[in-house]
Amino acid sequence: MGYIATFSSLILLLLMLVPGTPISLQGVEYTLFIIWLVIGIVIYILYNKQEIKIDTISNRKGEMSNE
């Protein structure tokens, strides 16, 4: 079900980005899309850095308890 939802979302996104289609975005919508895209990328990067720190800390604790 997740694959179907992802595929459907990608098709709708492509239709929105192609000019001339009935659901294509206009000026304001493009601006909002870019803002949401940047916010999503920033959150993704911050989450990955936090996850790496957590993994490093948990690995260190495991190493300390094994010694």
In a domain, residue 14? The reply is: no
In a domain, residue 18? The reply is: no
Q: Give pLDDT, residue 67.
A: 47
In a domain, residue 61? The reply is: yes
In a domain, residue 9? The reply is: no
Q: Give pLDDT, residue 8.
A: 96
In a domain, residue 58? The reply is: yes
Residues 6+ apart with CB under 8 A from 14: none
Residue 42, domain extent = 25-67
Q: Give pLDDT, residue 33.
A: 87
The pair of structure tokens assigned to 20 is: 């001339």
In a domain, residue 64? The reply is: yes
In a domain, residue 20? The reply is: no
Instruction: Please give the Cα distance from 2 to 30 (Å, whole number).
Output: 26
Within 10 angstroms of residue 65's Cβ, the number of other Cβ atoms is 7
Q: Give pLDDT, residue 64.
A: 54
Q: Contact, 33 vs 23, CB < 8 A?
A: no
Task: Report the SS3 class of residue 20.
Answer: coil
The pair of structure tokens assigned to 3 is: 């694959």
- Mean pLDDT, contiguous 10-residue spans, the chain (67 residues): 94 87 84 93 84 63 52
